[in-house]
Each structure stands twice: as C-alpha cells, then as structure tokens.
Structure 1
Amino acid sequence: MTIAPAKLTDPAVRAFVTAINAGDRESFFALLAPDATMSDDGSDRDLTDWVDREIFGPNGRMAVQTESDGGHALVAEFTNDTWGMMRTAWRFTVEGGKIHRFDTGQA
C-alpha cells in the first residue's frame, strides 16, 4: 500500500516527494535551506551531485509506504533508471518550512 504524496503530513516533505515524482529539479532545490546537507547509507554526500546522479538524471521516483515521526521519516520504494527499485528509508530535518538535511539509505 502506498501513501499518496498529497496525504503526507509535513508540507516540506510532501513537496519534496511531489517534486521528485514530477521530475521538477527547480522546485526540489527551492525546498532546501541554502546550507542543506544529506547522507546516503550513512555517508555524507555532495547534495547537488548526488541529487543529479540518483534522482533527476536517472528519472527517480518515490512511492511512499510508511510515514512516522510527524512526517519526518518515510519508508519508500525508490526507483530510478540506474538501480531499479530499492526499499529506502528517508529522514528529514525541517526548520522554518525548509529542509535542512535529509538522510537516506536502504531500508
């Protein structure tokens, strides 16, 4: 069972998933704080490089399975043209309506 992006609790996280699924890189980056950071499988990554390589370059999509922690933790089936489908966990730090950090990795 998937959770429609419009049903996600936190507005910034909702917009994050919506932007990914729409392939809307500009809207995605508008959601992030200027100093936003991220990690993948426990290692900090260059955010712009990672997003272009894992999400927007290879047509990334998220199908959210579960939501917890007030909408700041998701488990999703993430699919892209490079890796296919992976069950992934996402955790977000949101302040003032902007995403300051997100951490992802295999769930």
Structure 2
Amino acid sequence: MTIQIDKLSDPAVRTFLSALNANDRAAFQAALTPDATMADDGTDRDLADWTEREIFSSRGHIEVQSEKDDGRTVVANYRNDTWGEMRTAWRFAVRDGLISRFETGQA
C-alpha cells in the first residue's frame, strides 16, 4: 500500500519528498537546513553530489509504503534511471521545520 506524500505525518518530510518527486532542486534545497548532512548505506556522503547523482540527474522518485516515528522514518520504493527500483528506508532529523539530516539505505 502506498501512502500519498501529502498524507505523511511530518510536514518537513512531506516538503522534502514532494520536492524530490517534482525534481525541483530549489524546493528541495529550501527543505534543508543550510548545514544539512546525509548518509547512504551507513556512510556519510557529500549531500550536493549525492542528490545530483541519485535524485536530480537520474530522475529519482519515491513511493512511501509505511511511516513510523511520527513520520520521520519511512520505508519506500525508490527508483531512478541509474539503479532502477529498490526498497529503501529513510530516516530524517528535523530542526526548525527543516531537514537537518537524512539517512537512507536498502530496507
């Protein structure tokens, strides 16, 4: 069962994932704190480089299957033109209504 992004519990996560699916770099950046960080499969990555490769230039798209932790943890099917589709887990830290860190990896 897919959960519509506009129905997710956490407004910061909703904004982040909506911008991701819209391939909207400006809205995506606006959803992040200026010092935001991220990790992929447990390894910290350069956020700008990773998002360009894994989201924007490869047309990333996410379909949320479940949420917990008041919407700050989601399991989703994520796909892009580079890797195809995979089941992923995303964990978000929120500060002042913006995403300060996200961690993703295969679920």
TM (norm. structure 2) is: 0.99
Identity of aligned residues (%): 62
What is the deviation of 1:95?
1.2
Local SS of the residue matching 1:6 = helix
Local SS of the residue matching 1:9 = coil
- Unpaired runs of 5+ residues, structure 1, are none
1:11 matched residue in structure 2: 11
TM (norm. structure 1) is: 0.99
Deviations 1:17-60 (A, max 9, x none): 11111111110010100100000000000000000000001000
Q: Distance in 1 between matches of 2:6 and 2:85?
A: 22
1:36 matched residue in structure 2: 36
Q: Distance in 2 between matches of 1:17 and 1:37?
A: 16
- Flag as ranges the 4+ runs of structure 1 deviating above 3 A: none
Local SS of the residue matching 1:26 = helix
Q: Distance in 2 between matches of 1:31 and 1:19?
A: 8
